[in-house]
Amino acid sequence: MKRLLFFAVTLLAISCSKQQVLSPDGHTHIAFRLTQAGAPEYSVIQDGDTLIQWSALGLSCMEQDLTTGFRLMDIDRESRSERWETVWGEEHWIDDRHHEMTVELEHQSGIRMNIVFRAFDDGIAFRYELVPAQSEAEADDRLIILDEATEYRFTADHQAWSIPWRTEYYEGLWTKSPLSEITDTLCSPVTLEMTNDHYAFVHEAALTDYPAQNLYMADGALKTYLTPWLDSTAHVTPVKAYEQMPFVTPWRMVILARSLPEMVASRIMLNLNEPCAIEDPSWIKPMKFIGIWWGMHMKSMTWEQGPIHGATTTNMERYLRFAKEHGIEAVLAEGWNLGWEDWKHFSFTEPYSDWDMDYLSQLADSLGVAIIGHNETGGNAADYEDVLDEAYAYHQKHNIRAIKTGYVSPIIRTKDGLQLNKGQSGVRHYRKVIETAAKYHICIDNHEPVMPTGLQRTWPNLMTQEGVRGQEWNAWSQDGGSPCNHVTILPFTRIMAGPVDYTPGVFAFENPVMPQTRVHSTLTGQLGLFVCFYSPLQMACDLPENYMRHPEAFRFIESVPCDWERSMLIDGRIGEYCIFARQRRGGEDWYIGGITNENARNITIPLSMLTEGKTYSARVYHDDDDADWQTKPYAYVIDQATFTSTDTIRLRMASGGGLAIELKPEN
C-alpha cells in the first residue's frame, strides 16, 4: 500500500513539474495547476521559499463564470533575451530576459482562455487571453466582465505601502501597515517590505482597454477589485469591463527583489509593454521647463483674465527670456485660453485678449525655447475628444510640441457618461489622447491621469504624468503641507509606476497667503529631487525672481539633465531617505541626489560607478551644519572637489534636507 501511494505522489509531482516556468537565472519559478473543479491557480517560489502560495486566477463574467470548469489543452513555451533602446528613460538600453509559459485552457462553455506566464530574474507576470468558443453554435464574441478572480496569496504578513483606491487623482499620503491590518481597498501599485528583508512591488502593465486594478485583503489574500463602470447599477454586480473577444487583459506583475536597489532597477513593467509604435520618434525631446503656474498657487497670479492674470504676453515674454538666459528648454503657460472664468467650457484654440499666441510662438522660436501648452478640461473628456484634432492642429501650427492636459473633476464626463477616470471608459479616453497627439508630433504631460503602467514604451510621446500629491499641496493644503517623509516614500511607490510630474524646485518657502502651509524641505532638499524623482519633462516650479535670490544654487537646476544613460539607487530606506546616482545620456557626467525625512543623518556615498582611472571635478551642494527645514531652510554650502572611482563622499543631510552633486570628467 505504501509503494502504491509513493508511486501516485511521484506521478503527481512529475505532472506538476511540467506546469511551471523558471526564470533565466533559475532562482524563481511559477507553478500552475487546475483544481478538481477546474479552477486555475498559480504559486511562486524563489530560492526554495514559497512567496506566493496557491492563488486563484480567472474572470467572473455575466455570460460565463470563467473561474472554474476548465480543462488543460496544451502548454507552449518561449524564451526571450534581447536588449532594446529607449527613446528616453532612466536607462538608454534595457535588457528583456524571461521565460514564458502559455497555458491553454478550454472552458466547459467552449471559450478558450490562455494564461500567459512570464518569469523574470526579478519577478513574475501573467495575463489572460480570451478566445471565443470554436463551435459556431456556441460562438459569442462578447464578454461582460463583472470581476477578476486574480489574487496574490503571500505567505507572510508583509508591511504594505499604499493609498486608498478612491483617493482623488491618487493625490494622497502613502502609509504603511501589515497586510493583515488592511481594511480598505487600495489602488495599484502596492509596495511590500517583506519579512525576509526582501521587497515586492505589485502592479499592472500595458493597461489599454480595461479598468485599472485595485487591491484588497480578504481570506488572507490580496485580491483584485477592478474599477467599475458607474452606469451599471441595473446589474446586481457592477460591470467592470465590456470586451469583444479575442482580447487580452493587462499584465499582472510582481517585482520580487532581494534589495531596495534591485527593486528600483527592475524594468519588468516596460518589458511587458509593446515596442514603440511611432515609426520615427526623433521629434520627442526630454527637457526641463519653468512656467506660469506656481504664482497661481501662491495667489500672486490668476488663471482667469483680470488685474493679476498670469498668462499675459508680457509675463510670458519675461519667462521665455529668462529660460533662454539660463539654458532652460521650455516654458509652460496655464490660463492662456478662454474658459477659466467659469469652468463651463474651455477653448483650446482661443486665447484671452492679453495673450498674443502668434507673437509669442515666433519669439519662442527665435530664442530656441519651446512653449508647453496647457489644456484643462475640467473633467469634460467627451468635449475634449470632439476637438482633439482641431486643438492639436492649432498647437502644431504654433510649434507647440508638448501639452499638459488636466481633468480636475473627481468624476470625468466621457463619451460613456460620468465615469471614474481609472475605469475602462477613462482608460480609453487617455489612450485616444496619446495616439491623436502622436499624429501631430505632440507630447503629453497628463495630469489627473490613470496610474501609469509602462505605456510610454509603446507611445513615448506620453512623457510624464501627475497622479501624485505633488508640490502644489505645499502651497495651500489645510494640513500644512506634505510631511518630510512624503518625498522619501514616492521613489519606492508611485514613481515605480512611471515618470512623475511632481514639480520640484521651490526656492522660497514662505507663503503669506497661507502662512500655516509650507514646503517641508531645505533648499538643497529641493535640488536633490531633480535626481531622485524621474521625469523626462522636469519642471522647475518656482518664480524666476525666487531663483535669482539663490543664483549659485540655481546652477544645479540649469545643468542637471532629465534623460539618462544609467540610473541606480545607491542607498535608501522607504520613508527615511534615498540616494540616487544617474549618468547623463550620451555623456560621462554623473549626478547624485539625496533627500531625507525629518531626521537629519550622515551618509556615505561610494563613487564606484565612476569610470576607473578618470578624475572628476565636482560641485557639491549640501546642507550647512545648522540647516533645518523649519528654522534655516536656506543654509547651504557649495563645495568644489575632485574625485575618482575609489573615493567616497561623506555628507550630512539636515532635517528635511538633501544634497545634489555634479561630477564631470577632467580627462
By annotation, the residues acting in catalysis are 472
The amino acid that residue 523 corresponds to is L
Q: How many CB atoms lie within 10 A of CB 359?
A: 12
Going from the C-alpha of 617 to that of each of 351, 638, 655, the distances in angstroms are 47, 13, 28
C-alpha span between 634 and 654 (Å, rounded) = 11
Nearest Cα neighbor of 146 from 73, 208, 207, 59 is 59
Question: Which residues are paired to 619 by β-bridges?
Answer: 640, 662
**What element of type H or E holds 254?**
strand 251-257
178 prior amide bond cis, ω within 30: no
Length of the chain equals 667
The amino acid that residue 514 corresponds to is M
Q: How far is CA 556 from the centre of its chain?
A: 25
Determine whether 176 is exposed, middle or buried from the number of CB atoms within 10 Å of its CB (0-12, 13-18, 19+): middle
C-alpha span between 5 and 11 (Å, rounded) = 10
- Cα–Cα–Cα angle for 623, 629, 630, rounded to 5 degrees: 140
Q: Secondary structure of the chain: what % helix, strand, coil (to 5)?
A: 20, 35, 45
C-alpha span between 220 and 384 (Å, rounded) = 43
Grid cell at residue 655? 532635517
State the pairing for strand pair 443-446/402-406. Answer: parallel
Which alpha helices (H) appear in 247-331, and where do they start and end?
260-265, 268-271, 294-297, 313-325
Q: Which residues of 450-462 are buried (b: 16+ CB within 10 A; e: fewer)?
A: bbbbbbbbbbbbb
C-alpha span between 191 and 184 (Å, rounded) = 16
Q: Which residues of 7-31 are buried (b: 16+ CB within 10 A; e: fewer)?
A: eeeeeeeeeeeebbbebeeebbbbb
C-alpha span between 496 and 84 (Å, rounded) = 20
Q: Which residues of 601-621 are buried (b: 16+ CB within 10 A; e: fewer)?
A: eebebebebbeeeeebebbbb
DSSP secondary structure, 93-123, as one string: EEEEEEEEEEEEEEETTS-EEEEEEEEETTE
Residue with the three cell numbers 545643468: 559
C-alpha span between 98 and 119 (Å, rounded) = 5
Q: Are 564 and 533 in contact (CB under 8 A)?
A: no
189 prior amide bond cis, ω within 30: yes
Grid cell at residue 306? 483680470
Rounded to 10 deg, the angle between the 357-367 and 313-325 helix axes is 10
Q: How many CB atoms lie within 10 A of CB 578?
A: 29
State the pairing for strand pair 537-539/287-292. Answer: parallel
Question: Which residues are paired to 365 by β-bridges?
Answer: none
